[in-house]
Amino acid sequence: MPYTQHRQRNLSQPAFLILSTLKQRPSNGVGLCEAIQQMEGLVIEPATLYRALAYLERRGWIEGDDAEAPPRVYRLTAPGRLALEHAEVGSHREHPRERWHPLLQRGKEMIVRFVIWILCLYPLAWRERYEQEMIALLEQHQLTLWTVLDLFLGALDARLDPHYRGKRQLLPLLRLQVSWKWFFSAVLVFCFSQLFWTGLGWGADFPCNGDAASCAVAHAMGVYNASLAATIEGSALLLVSLSLFPFLLVLLGWIGLQARRTRDLLRVLPVALLVLLCLLLVYVSTGPWVYSSGGPGHEVRQYSLFHTWWFNVLVLLAFIPWIGLQAKRARTFLRTLPVALLALLCLLACYVFSAPDLAAWLSGLFHMWWFQVLFLFLVLAALVLVAESAGTMLISLRSWQKRRTLLLATPARLFALLAIAGMVGVCIATGAGLIDLWNVLALLNDSPLGMSFLLPLGFIVMVVAAVIALVALVRSTFTLRAVSAASVNTSSPPQWDRTGPKDGIIVLPAVVFVCIEFLPPRLIGGIVPVWILVLPPLFLLGSTMVALAVKHYRVKGAALAKQEPLSQVQQVHEHN
């Protein structure tokens, strides 16, 4: 019984329990302890008991028998009986919750569930240790707004605690996840640095006023941009063609497996469609959808299928059962949110793409910040969904994973390494272009303020991106080696780990992207070139592959952790 109920009646919980026990029969201290433990399942410490007994005796509600031998026997007095009845009536009056309307009761349960959901924000290591007892506590606790706020603060505190941060990296598979985050951040930083450079050349149409210096600069910019675009497109196409083939193989195998279970067909369709859509998006965005460079007036070539309204409607329809299934399966709303968002965006896309005078409208549309934001949200939502579907896929793959453990991991590894290597290559190519530009910069006597500011900034940001990418590369290489060395020993079928992809992975890039997109155009020197929007879906695919690998190793790691102590895995890791 919650303590506060009796406090208002001047009775503490031990006192109330003592009184109600003594009401049945007189007893000594030891007897009271045992009776309370039997009745309420509560262990009352001797100190608490005797403090309460002394208090009750002082109030005259109980009396001790002094005549008998040392264990004093206490009995209830008349005022004590009255006080007890008073407290009981009070506690009944203050306990109307048991008789709540079913709807209200349901609402209350939902609140409790929401509060328990907040525990998801705590670090994994923390949750493994404390989550169960915390849930037990929260179910007993009287929930207020302050409880929720306090839980948020507690989660923040645990997140900031270096102890849990350090603990997370003990597991090699989590290290892999961390390097995936690194990798993704590197992509973002790289895209960010691109804004500075391309803003110079394409957006702000650099003036060639007839004097030699500025014309030289304009020319150098043109050459730089052309070579940069060629490098990026070339490496992108290479990566896509290298990585898509094994991915498609895995996908086909998975769809074949799922098709055997007819009841899961509904679940297969949207996922398969989405993955195909993502693949299509990559081809579309690297192919005819790309703007030809040449300033704001450049023409748009369309990709016919992607721009037809019925295709988008089909995609949307495919998502509806998926949303329903997700809402039913997922415990939290957060996971269904990206799906719903994606469907809404698809709907929006239908209207957009079926508009009259499409080409002109599109070219105008792509220069609007809100469209770019929407597009990026679409990409991010797709990322969440693909990561989620990766989980579903892995559940299905479980049956034959044992025989072909490397089937999924090898292409993922290959792609991760290729993508990072490609990105580093792009960084180097860009850096070489920068050196050329650096020389040109010296020719400028009256360089615009924006130019002198943007050049070094772009350079620094790009260097940062390259460093992050290298770190990610090193980390993932080491981790993958450690994991594959450790996984040789495992023979038991892997257990599915129910924890989904970390939301933080998605949220952080989203925040960064939105921040980039909301930068005032004047600051970045003009419009955002569209091929920057091409990069995210491309690297999205790469990150998805890595996410698949992470999921895969998590599954394996769960089995591994059960079999052998963590230190052994660590040793292997250190050995490598």
Partner 1 sequence: MYKKQDELGRFSDPSSLILASLASGPRHGYAMMEDILQFCGTKLEPGTLYAAIARLERRGWIDALEAEDRRRPYRITGAGEKALREQIKTLHRVVSIGQQRLAPDSQT
Contacts to partner 1 by CB under 8 A:
3-4, 7, 12-13, 42-43, 45, 47-48, 126, 129-130, 132-138, 140-141, 146-147, 150-155, 157-158, 163
CB of 87 to partner 1, least distance (A): 15
Judged by beta carbon, residue 138 or residue 170, the one nearer partner 1 is: 138
How far is Cα 16 from Cα 83, in angstroms, rounded to an integer?
Answer: 9
3-state secondary structure of 205: coil
In three-state form (DSSP H/G/I as H, E/B as E, the rest C), the secondary structure along 318-338 is HHHHHHHHHHHHCCCHHHHHH
Judged by beta carbon, residue 255 or residue 566, the one nearer partner 1 is: 566
Sign of CA dihedral 283, 287, 289, 292: positive
3-state secondary structure of 402: coil
CB of 42 to partner 1, least distance (A): 8
Judged by beta carbon, residue 160 or residue 359, the one nearer partner 1 is: 160
Backbone angles phi, psi at 416, to 5 degrees: -60, -45
CB of 203 to partner 1, least distance (A): 47
Residue 383 near residue 506, CB atoms below 8 Å: yes
CB of 133 to partner 1, least distance (A): 5
CB of 92 to partner 1, least distance (A): 20
CB of 565 to partner 1, least distance (A): 20
CB of 54 to partner 1, least distance (A): 14
CA 164 to chain centre: 17
Judged by beta carbon, residue 24 or residue 144, the one nearer partner 1 is: 144
Name the helix (H) or strand (E) containing 74: strand 73-76
CB of 130 to partner 1, least distance (A): 6
Judged by beta carbon, residue 48 or residue 410, the one nearer partner 1 is: 48
Judged by beta carbon, residue 64 or residue 154, the one nearer partner 1 is: 154
Judged by beta carbon, residue 168 or residue 481, the one nearer partner 1 is: 168
Residue 464 near residue 189, CB atoms below 8 Å: yes
Judged by beta carbon, residue 128 or residue 564, the one nearer partner 1 is: 128
Sign of CA dihedral 85, 88, 90, 93: negative
Task: Report which of 411, 414, 408, 410 is spatially closest to residue 494, judged by C-alpha positions.
Answer: 408
How far is Cα 519 from Cα 506, in angstroms, rounded to an integer?
Answer: 20
How far is Cα 314 from Cα 346, in angstroms, rounded to an integer?
Answer: 10
Judged by beta carbon, residue 40 or residue 63, the one nearer partner 1 is: 40
Backbone angles phi, psi at 179, to 5 degrees: -70, -25
Quick count: other Cβ atoms within 10 Å of Cβ 3? 11
How far is Cα 433 from Cα 165, in angstroms, rounded to an integer?
Answer: 39
Judged by beta carbon, residue 151 or residue 550, the one nearer partner 1 is: 151
Tokens of 388: 């989620």
Tokens of 346: 């698809």
Name the helix (H) or strand (E) containing 129: helix 124-140
Tokens of 263: 């009841």
CB of 188 to partner 1, least distance (A): 32
CB of 149 to partner 1, least distance (A): 8
